[in-house]
Amino acid sequence: MPEALPPGISIASFSEGYRKYFEVVPATTPELKWHNFHLRHKVYADELGWEPRRADGIATDDYDRHAVHCLVRAVATHAFVGGARLVLPDPEHPTAPLPFETACGAALDRRIVDTAALDRSRIAEMSLLTVAANYRRRPGEAAQAFVIDDDFGITPRIRLPYLTLGLYLGLIALARTRGIATLFMLAEPQLAHSIAHLGVAIVPIGGAIDHHGERFPSMIDVGAVVVGLAPYIRPFFDTIADDIERALYSPA
């Protein structure tokens, strides 16, 4: 269950705090996509060694052809400091597996959800969340592509991880604009526990696999998340969703 706000804490302060430091930007142009691919290469190839280094400093794969991307920009520096993507089914081969379906194989529990039986025009996968190194400064964070803060919930000293949370909420907002009903992801074990405080239910749909650490195939009901967000998170989500819709649909 989402936690209630402590006395004296303003709901508006969360979206105001986000706007003070970050902006979620849908990567709709080749230039913006380049920034996402470059940041991905810097983190996944140069820093973590999970991907091969490439001479052009760009990390892409075949899934990027049918993915939508978003970035997080730091307000103070205008630098792009976070990135992620939503992988959509290949329009030319809609039954082709998404990345998690290939990675998980027999670990998926088809009794929970049979992905092959879903309307594949309404599913997508959240993947390759990336946070720049100078925002992963605490002990142990340098070996992660992004940070899942243990303090997602409400405490007497509230500290929301605006950058990481902005990426997740940005992907959910992008999914909603695309009519996506179900999001899939490979989730770290602590993730579901951490963001349950925000009203985001992540449902495991299979056993653990080793994918740069232990991960569980999981799903999110987009509509249920938007309805069920904690009261102090909803203005934060609405702010991000407004920014995305303005960028996507406003005249140039």
CATH of the domain at 20: 3.40.630.30
Distance between CA atoms of residues 203 and 90, nearest Å: 24
Asked whether residue 202 is domain-assigned, the answer is: yes
CA-to-CA separations, 131 to 5, 58, 101, 146, 154, in angstroms, rounded: 28, 16, 24, 5, 23
Q: Does some domain include residue 2?
A: no
Q: What is the pLDDT of residue 156?
A: 36
Q: Structural domain tally of the chain?
A: 1
- Expressed as residue numbers, the domain containing 177 is 12-249
pTM: 0.85
Interatomic CA distance for residues 199 and 227, integer angstroms: 9
CB 176 within 8 A of CB 126: no
Q: What CA–CA distance (Å, rounded) separates 128 from 229? A: 23
- Residue 21: pLDDT band (50, 70, 90) is confident
Q: Is residue 89 part of a domain?
A: yes
- Residue 1 located in a structural domain: no
The answer to whether residue 110 is domain-embedded is: yes
Q: What is the pLDDT of residue 158?
A: 39
In a domain, 120, yes or no: yes
DSSP state of 220: E
- Mean pLDDT calculated for residue range 196-217: 85
pLDDT, tens digit, for every residue of 63-73? 999 999 999 99
Average pLDDT over residues 38-67: 94
8 A C-beta contact, residue 69 and residue 167: no
Banded model confidence at residue 14, pLDDT cuts 50, 70, 90: low
pLDDT at 42: 95
Contact 172, 226 (CB under 8 A): yes
User: How many whole angstroms separate alpha carbon 84 and alpha carbon 89?
Assistant: 17
- On whether the CB atoms of residues 14 and 154 are closer than 8 A, the answer is no
What is the Cα–Cα distance from 110 to 100, expressed in whole angstroms?
Answer: 14
> What is the reported pLDDT for 141?
45
Output phi, psi for 154, to 5 deg.
-90, 130
